[in-house]
Structure 1
Amino acid sequence: MHDKSDAELVALVRAGDKSAFGVLVERYQVLALRVAVRMVTHEELARDLAQEALLEAYLSLRHLRADTRFKNWLYGIVLNVCRTYLRDQRVQFFSLEAMRGGMRFDGPLPVAVAPSPQEIVEAHDLHQRVGHAVAALPPAEREATLLFYYDQLSVREIAATLGISPNAVKVRLHKSRQHLRRRLLADDAEFRMERRRKMIRVSVADVVKQVRTAEDGESSTYYIIVLYDESGRRALPIWVGPWEGQAIAMGLREFSTPRPMTYNFMAALLDAAGVNVESVQIASLKDETFYATVKLRNGKNVAEVDARPSDAVALALRAGAPMHVDAEVMARAGLDVPQGASASRQGTQQILDELQAALKPWTRSSAHSQEQMQQTQRELVAQVFGR
């Protein structure tokens, strides 16, 4: 019996076969529950209302005009049962409060493959804003919109469910699109302004090298960059690798090297390609790890690239790009700076002095005799090739 169509099952029920209606219940009870949950937001209450709607459908089956339309007819009964309950409880149908707790879009969020934490947050924010915009629609437009986009019903199916003409459905959908467009554009502008307000402009106060010796006598070297919010007098320390710490220190002062270093090369490469580094953001802090993004522009094309804070800061110094820290990140990990205190950049100078001392032997390489150079080359070939 389970392989029979809706129309065949309805005909059997009309002929007195109660088990045929049991098959229809198995087929559509999930749909009925889903509609009821969306309407009243509480699952237990929705389950009771869905059962009530199924019972009403059984008792009113004689009023079904087209046996092939059982699904849409049942959908309408569930809606009416829920509306009646909400009206009796004097609850506004599809109020914003109810939608916040009850409306769900169960499809996957539109995020890219392997999204960064920042992309996940933005996708979730967009998901919520669309839901709130739909909740704010007038009831008639909201109902048509949910049936069309959420339940994937056709215009004719919606018309049959709501008891209106297909043209009336099209008018409601057209108006809802206009309202959603205006609402989402306004929300997007407000959302972007809010995000900008949450970003704090910072500079690099210093880079500090620390050497710590463990009890067993083994020493470890750490490099720490300290970002500074001058207006709020807050400092944000971020631990980085030795190479990155040295590169940031070199970017803070005019430190020349015989050939371009990696970050100088990256900045020159982007400049040659016509790509401008617009800004760097320390956007989030998760599990004690900072996440950064670099905003790039090439004409009208804009892209945001996920990056380590150390790489992003080193590049920003070479490109002259502004640096920002998310206000929540600063609140969680930032430290207060005493009034009247200022950064001396002694740590940066110490790192550069050590680098300069390490480079001196290389600057004297021109003093080596030609014979010494040739001997070194022969030894190198023998070492590499075994001869």
Structure 2
Amino acid sequence: MSQKTDPELVALARCGDKVAFSHLIKRHRSLAFGIARKMVGRVDIAQDLVQEALLQAYLSIDRLRDDDRFQSWFCGIVLNVCRSHIRHQKINFLSFEEIMGGMKVDADIFGATSPSPMKVAQEQELYNLVLEAVNSLSPKNRTTVLLFYFEQLTIYEISALLNSSVTAVKGRLHKSRKQLKERFIPLYLEDKRIEPMIQVTVADLIYLPIVELPNSVLNSNSCVAILWDEVNRRFLPIFVGIPSGEAIAQILTETSLTRPMTFQFMSNILQAANVNLKSVRVESLHEDIYYAIVSLDCEGQIKEVDARPSDAIALALLMNSPIYVNEAVMQEAAIQVPSDIENAPTGRGLSELMSYRQQKQQELKKKRQEEQSQLKSREENWETINNLTMKFLFHRDRL
């Protein structure tokens, strides 16, 4: 039985042969366990989740379309079981919006919105295209791609799981990237021609003490940048975090500092290298995270760099460069301003943020003064103790 191929064992398992199914699981269990352990971190939980995936695979093996792809099908079940387990855990993310530098803001904060049926159909079509492209890879390359990009395992971890050399894993990834690139570049270029870029301005910054997001609570202060599309009367809210929000606020209010901060330093480097910032584009929205592209003119050569939207927006404001948002992103996440409201975002949040910053600076100054006062008091106490000690020693010597 152990000499049979996966398709042969799958065929027998469909007929109710439990021994054949057990040989299938024995052959692929180590890979499944490695994936589960990587996702949940704990060995005992990973074992339970793999056991649950085994049961689901046994009950639904009739749904396997291609008998030669049992390994990827079974690993997919393991992934879904692990994701379901993670979703049910209560996890608090601390300043996650600052790490990502551009999270989608829940529309409930500003007004209800929902994706259009066309958008849902487009996402389903894109999913099918990606799935078809990945499935077109060879079995070994397909497994390697899923582990590296989907599960975010390292090359060394993949090498250990698949019992292959690191060189072999790198070779599979290189071949897979090339094949997928050839397949997707025409679709990407066609998509770029269809979807225009909308120029926006930073209309306001809103300070939010605590923000609740689906499945998590950000136990920290947050800041939302409001990108305003004046032509179509839409605004796009993006989480940028307090530090990035304060930096953007300083640029908008033209607040001068004694020493250059991060974005001023970045701007000075670009100018010294004779590099012009042509534009900033909020290019896409994936799993509630915005992705931006910075377009640079390097002495006639155009270079594009991936960036967090918060960093890209701050740099664009500092260097007087235009900011664009992909129309597809605007259609998905922007909020339409009702026609009966005449004015655009007022900038009131910007003043509130600067007031918050001044309050924090005053609190920090007061804290430093208290620390200095305590330090001075300790020094005076130590000086008194030293004087008394010296007097005691002097009198003891005389006695």
> Looking at CA atoms only, which structure, 1 or 2, has the larger radius of gyration?
1
Q: TM-score range by the shorter chain?
A: 0.3 to 0.5
Structure 1 length normalisation: TM-score?
A: 0.44
